[in-house]
Amino acid sequence: MIRKEFLPVSRPDVSEKEITKVAEILRSGWWTTGPVVTEFENNTIEYLRDSEDLYAVGVNSCTSGLHLALIASGIGSQDEVIIPTWTFAATAQVVEWIGAIPVLCDIEEDSLNIDLSKAEKLITSRTKAIIPVHMAGYPCDLDGLRNLARKYNLKVIEDAAHAFGTKYYQRKIGNFSDLCVFSFYATKTLATGEGGMVVSRDKQLIEKIRQKSYFGINKEAFKRYGATGAWFYDIEDLGYKCNLDSIHAALGLAQLERLDQMVAIRRQIAKRYRDGLSGLVDFTADSDRHFHPYHLFIIKLRSPAITRNDLIIELKKRNIGSSVHFIPLHMHSYYKKRFPENNFPVANKTFSNVLSIPMFSAMTIEDADYVIDQLKIILGG
């Protein structure tokens, strides 16, 4: 029987905690950047860090965070930055915003993460940084990245948009590279609608990003409106308008309190999918060595009897949402002109067979079983 309600590919998980915390901010009258943002930054540090110091600054999006991370790292005009072709536009476009050159790299077939052996072949005298993407929440080879960065003196800026809560050899993402940038977009494991966070062990880098995130002002500008603040401030550098506001930070605080529970549900659903669809479709990488929070659940089609696009249509008839993460950058019109050689055999081979099926912590096991049953009917399992 076809379910009556549409099951989206993703939906925010909202409880009374989020509603209460946002209501408190609305009643307080302090809606923009303020003490609640600082609290969210501090709580995020406490959640992420291991035995060493860690610093964080909230921003209005992961995109803004990546942009500021590049600037703070000294990446500039005509420098080259290696990124995977299998990513969203933001990863590449922030590079071009600062006048640098994105260099697209092919991916590993199992993880959809950047292929470091191919990345090394792309390094030139102008290469200054590499931006890995932890696709769907599964971690990149961070040991390999560290070795590559040391060998060629490269900055590593992790695009961890999918990876809040991910562990690499049981250490949480955020503790490894020069800079790591998270997304709190509405579909993420921790969702605030819009928003992000930049973390680093380098306090000076974080304070530079904090200053640039609000017009280059020399102190926490919001304090000038408080009872103990002073009206005077100085603009010391060129900056931007990328600060995180208190409403989104309040959502983040509530989500952070519930994060382990929400991730546990995602992992339970992922196991249900893997058990129920085993032998019918293939899956992207998972490993007992790491901890995968499953921002996305991606399947790879085996059956030649139905195309990916036809499967999307069939699922929609059954009130099941799906999506494709991602159209590789080199397949878009703008980047086709930039990379006409199209030297991305793994991405090209993989693209037509991947599909993201519903994955969010407000789902039920019954929802997952419905998806499994309908896929079995469609694919003849």
Residues with catalytic roles: 188
Q: What is the DSSP string of 113-171?
A: SB-HHHHHHT--TTEEEE--B-GGGPPP-HHHHHHHHHHHT-EEEEEETT-TT-EETTE
Q: Quick check: 315 and 378 in contact, CB under 8 A?
A: yes
Of 326, 379, 378, 377, residue with least CA distance to 355:
326
Q: Quick check: 254 and 18 in contact, CB under 8 A?
A: yes
The widest CA-to-CA distance across the chain, in whole angstroms, is 70
Parallel/antiparallel/unpaired status of strands 55-59 and 196-200: antiparallel
Q: What does the H/E/C string look like for 322-364?
A: CECCCCCHHHCHHHHHHCCCCCCHHHHHHHCCEEEECCCCCCC
Q: Quick check: 282 and 299 in contact, CB under 8 A?
A: yes
Question: Hey, what amino acid is at 253?
Answer: L
Return the bridge partners of 281, or none: 278, 301
Q: Quick check: 159 and 181 in contact, CB under 8 A?
A: yes
**Residue for token pair 């998806």:** 371
Distance CA 106, CA 116 (A): 9
**Residue for token pair 């961070």:** 142
SS3 call for 217: strand
